[in-house]
A and B are shown apart, each in its own frame.
Chain A
Amino acid sequence: MNLPACTALIAEDEILLAESLRQELSRLWPALEVVAMAGHGQEAVDQALRQQPDICFLDIRMPGLSGLEAAAALAEDWPSEGTPFPLLVFITAYDQYALQAFEHAAVDYVLKPVQPERLAQTCERLRKALLARQAEQPAPALLQNTVDQLRQLLSAGGLANNISRPEPLRLLQVSIGQTIQMVPVDEVLYFEAADKYVRVLTRNKEHLVRISLRELLPQLDSQRFWQVHRSVVVRADAIDRAVRDESGRLTLHLHGSPDTLNVSRLYAPLFKGM
């Protein structure tokens, strides 16, 4: 195997488990250098973007962003030029995400407690994938593959929400000091996540509501409100046109607002054209 030194990131909130995975990996694959250890999802995304490792081991259940959400965020923000998107390996104690979805896939998974034989298998698979990548350089295709799979996994995780979903929200109640402003969702152009708040943009006003986008999203009618980025949900009727630039990036132009919105690669397949 003529693999040059490879790098990896480990994201696991439990210190003992993170450390043991690192030791186990160094025993099974001495040439693999663990360049970053992250204790929560957001840290994993930041570190991965900074260090650009070849492989990311992501625990699924982490504080802040879950492993899947971190992977999705990473897929959205990964630069299209330069280092290819990392190979992903999810770690989980219990297959709450119907792990058959991971079988024979660009993304791999291991169950906790991590069995050395299983981890050795994973390492073998990763080595092969890295070699293949080196030979052909099919980075964009791989990224697209991973993105497709992540989308499937995320929607599989969200599926249970749809079943017990209450009536979609019609009216937003926005507190402004002592008043509560009623904002019909029909008037909203788009929602944008801002830390623990959501910015609500209408044709001529901007509001701030104390709710996270993650909480708000299940309350919206998914037919009428489309998530186009992990931090942006747009009312479909408010979209005037989607424009693709030379690098393949999609930008949305809206009716009644000069704002433009970027569509992340995760959600690009929403816009197909007839």
Chain B
Amino acid sequence: MIIAGITGFMSLLLTLQTPDAFGRNWQRTQNQWLYCLCVTLGCSAMIQLLAQACTVLINLRRTRQGLETQGWPGWPLMLLCLLLGTLLGYSLGIELGNVLTGRNEPGLFHVNLRSAAGMLGVSLLPGLALTIYFVGKGQVEAALTQAQTAQRLAAENQLRLLESQLEPHMLFNTLANLRVLIGMDAARAQSMLDHLIAFLRATLNASRSGSHPLREEFARLRDYLALMQVRMGSRLQPQLDLPAELAELPVPPLLLQPLVENAIKHGLEPAIAGGLLQISARREDDQLILEVLDHGVGLSAAKPSTETEGTHFGLHQVRARLATQFGPAAGLSLQALDAPEHGTRARIHLPLPPPNRL
């Protein structure tokens, strides 16, 4: 296809360039056309051959070095291919024409330098134009693929985030409880449903808004804990402590959610007797300390199983959000409580705005 394109384009150019292209002498015009065809064929064939050979050689080297292969040799080499290809192709074309017509047109090397350079220049043009066209097209396609990959990755990440927040196990267990409550205690079912609605709305909105006040964060945790308490009964004893002067501080939405979830999932749920879950906010100098502390089975006793993968994603996500918003000034640490206490403490510290702005 490329060859055909080049041929057509070049024939046209060369024909227009020759004096009296569609002139009186039909025989002469026919010969001109024939030569044009031969020259373009020769040029495009040679350029293709050289470019392909270069690409193969380059890719051989790149694979050995463990790099990605590419579809063309790159600009410097391609220009060389164009020049050499045109040079060789032109001579070849003239020779072919000579054989076909029985005439003896002089090749590039037999005419004076000026006219040879002119011929060469004109022959180079279409090759160059087409190369630019195809390279541009290739780049657009590559950019498109890259954009699509990025988009797919972002969507996957979003999905994982949502899945980690809307943990299916939690969701279906909650629904199962709700289903039972509807028949048994409609008022309690209604209040549980209200908590679930608030929790779901907050989860779905969390990725959209940049921050909300700490009091809102604690309210959403209360929703979540109310749901979990229906399920776990007295095994879950939550204690929330939010000083009034910190209530309006902005925090990333549902920042604490994964920590509370982990404390329940890995600390309290596996503990037969359950235990205390303390969530607190306090000020320490110019830092805000948020703490989630569970008196559950503790870090080391948590199952070394597939379930821990979820934790890593949850923690990773909290750290990533802190890093994007506050840089190195904020952080998350995880610590097993020392014996005789058992359990885990997750602590977030983030910079506070100056006191006068509070």
Contact = CB atoms under 8 A, between A and B. Distances in A.
Interface string B176-192: 11111101100000000
B290 to A, nearest CB: 27
B180 A19 contact: yes
Contacts of A42: 272
Interface in A150-201: 157-158, 160-161, 196
| Category for how many chain A residues contact B | 20 to 34
Given A63-B269, A63-B270, A157-B305, A16 B230 contact: yes
B212 to A, nearest CB: 29
Contact of A113 (B168, B172, B231): B172
A113 B179 contact: yes
A215 B304 contact: yes
Contacts of B64: none
Contact of B173 (A19, A40, A112, A215): A112
A159 to B, nearest CB: 8
B231 A14 contact: yes
B202 interface: no
Interface string A69-111: 0000000000000000000000001101000000000000001
B201 interface: no
Given A40-B272, A212-B301, A20 B180 contact: yes
Main secondary structure of the interface of B (DSSP, over half): helix
A38 to B, nearest CB: 11
Nearest to A113: B176
Contacts of A160: 305-306, 309
Contacts of B230: 16
Nearest to B305: A161
A60 to B, nearest CB: 10
Max chain A C-beta neighbours (<10 A), residue from B175, B176, B232: B176
A158 B305 CA distance: 7
A20 B178 CA distance: 11
A215 B270 CA distance: 14
A16 B177 contact: yes
Contacts of A157: 305-306
Contact of A64 (B173, B235, B270, B304): B270
A160 B308 CA distance: 11
Nearest to A19: B180
A112 B172 contact: yes
Given A14-B177, A19-B180, A63-B269, A214 B303 contact: yes
B274 to A, nearest CB: 8
Considering the complex of A and B, which 7 residue pairs feature the smallest CB-CB distances, nearest first? A113-B176, A93-B172, A20-B180, A160-B306, A112-B176, A94-B168, A113-B179
Interface of B: 168-169, 171-173, 175-181, 183-184, 230-233, 235, 269-272, 274, 300-301, 303-306, 309
5 contacts: A14-B173, A17-B177, A113-B175, A113-B176, A157-B305
Interface of A: 13-17, 19-20, 39-40, 42, 61, 63-64, 93-94, 96, 111-114, 157-158, 160-161, 196, 211-212, 214-215, 218
